[in-house]
Chain A
């Protein structure tokens, strides 16, 4: 029963979902800008003018898209693939978390290996050496050729 309900939740018509997404976005922006004045004394435009009117328009388009979506109930959202987003985004977050502390020498292979998990057909004997060689190339290119101030391995080398 619950399984059935869960599947039905994903099978919302695509454009209806898209419209609702826009309305939520617009509503959030509208509520977050309540303290910004749209106009100031003498009819002069204020800091809230553009964000607030854009939020209004966005909400309007959201409703339009949702309404059009009601006519097209057959176009559903394509299946949610979770593997790609989890590992690719996970690798980016892992890189961000480790670049300052561990440096590129470690953050590089971490990013490559974590993101590589997004593909089921990855071969361990291939991707591990590849991650190391690629990191070495990146260190050479960014650290030495382009002289970007990226930490290399602060814990080991001190820079």
Chain B
């Protein structure tokens, strides 16, 4: 049984003492970040990239993945206890979670969130292991034209399934692609958009853009809108939900897991979208929908499972097709590039230890999070009392050191400041920066495949018609945009995100 061998290999890598330690470290840092409101996973991962320079690629990716799903766990803790979602993925959790906390049932809410997340994480890990081989095989059949079309489809779906204005998000993707063309042309060596400045001959560093637009610009946004924290003072209550509560939550957990796994594979931020979807499904199915918003445990169990499942299955398109479906996965591409790894279908065959080790460590990480986080809840609550006025200078310093360490070059730090300014302008004009990062990360591959496809066809655009896979995917991409432009759907989409 091939799958069984793969999983065994994975566990033999992930259970090594060093990798186990890195996984634990990643989960702890992730939880810390998730708990602190105003520090998102994208900023954190870009901030901590330099820490992973000295670690081997397997360990580095295990740790970064740990930060990522640790942040999902931590985010729900803040949502339940403070009524501020620590992460965008736990917005919905705050609705019923905080109500439960006010009724003295914080422990049950935290417990069911952790249990649901663990079940979802386990399922998603198995799903990744099952889908990885066939998906990678499929990807190897793709010609350049098909690959190009697949990336276009991915980007379009990422826009349609995310919140905010569609034309503005498309413009951000284009801006990202444009940024990716800065530097020497790979084929002709001509300088492009460098304005004669030698420092950006090799292109703009990924970390510079990510940290500028996400790390610093996020701080500027937080400083402009002061938040009020309202930590629950009462009893947290017992951490394990009662048997009745668990029975009530089981089906929502399973439904949330299914929804989340599916939405996570699709481009767009499945982990953000899935909890919304799960919440409305549970509300519709409930015998008494009025309980929702008053501390219904299903309103915590479903969405929490959904966001964790979505966060995990987002690795599938990254690891098998080399296409990051959201901004965090785009960062993983950046991290892999720094370690000279090219994400895509070959990674599984060329780096089986890395691939399966990472998958096994996801499950181990999920287990660690349940075991560690619940008993440590008191510590996390105390962390919530660290004021933002001390937190943001800390982030600034970490980002500065991180950026400088990428190439040991102060010019990168100046450039990051420039991108932070750009990020602030984008925030003022209400552009979402995530599509720009996706466009930037995919830009080079997109251009490479487009030029390969057109070189084969000698410049004829009909090649996208002749390759039937490409034609179908481009048609789907166009359809997605047209559908979302229809007035009825548009209103529905806006409502889905408001609730």
Contacts and interface: CB of A to CB of B under 8 A. Distances in A.
Contact of B181 (A17, A54, A116, A150): A54
A55 interface: yes
B280 interface: no
B262 interface: no
A111 B459 CA distance: 52
A79 B424 CA distance: 12
Contact of A89 (B177, B216, B410): B216
B167 A61 contact: yes
Contacts of B399: 92
A148 B49 CA distance: 12
Interface string A129-140: 011001100100
Contacts of B420: 88-89, 92
A50 interface: yes
B219 A88 contact: yes
B460 interface: yes
B431 interface: yes
Given A14-B429, A25-B175, A85-B424, A47 B185 contact: yes
Contact of A150 (B170, B192, B396, B401): B401
Contacts of B443: 50
B341 interface: no
Q: Is the interface of B mostly helix, strand, loop or mixed?
A: helix
Interface residues of A, number: 73
A138 B392 contact: no
Interface in A140-158: 142, 146-150
Given A51-B192, A148-B53, A138 B401 contact: yes
B190 interface: yes
Given A68-B167, A81-B224, A58 B458 contact: no
A100 to B, nearest CB: 6
B219 A77 contact: no
Given A14-B429, A36-B190, A62 B216 contact: no
Contacts of A105: none
A96 B413 contact: yes
Contacts of B372: none
Contacts of B177: 50, 54
Nearest to B444: A50
A97 B414 CA distance: 9
Contacts of A130: 390, 393
A77 B170 CA distance: 21
B294 interface: no
A70 interface: no
A104 B401 CA distance: 9
Interface string A90-115: 01110111011000100110011101
A133 to B, nearest CB: 11
Given A111-B396, A115-B393, A148-B53, A65 B168 contact: yes
Interface of B: 50-51, 53-54, 165, 167-168, 170-171, 174-175, 177-178, 181, 185, 187-188, 190, 192-193, 195, 216, 219-220, 223-224, 388-390, 392-394, 396-401, 404-405, 408, 410-411, 413-414, 416-417, 420-421, 424-425, 428-431, 443, 446-447, 450-451, 454-455, 458-460
Given A54-B177, A95-B404, 15 more contacts: A14-B430, A15-B430, A22-B175, A32-B195, A36-B185, A46-B188, A48-B192, A49-B451, A84-B220, A93-B414, A95-B400, A112-B393, A112-B396, A113-B393, A134-B393
Going nearest first, the 3 A-B pairs with the smallest beta carbon separation are A43-B459, A96-B413, A84-B223
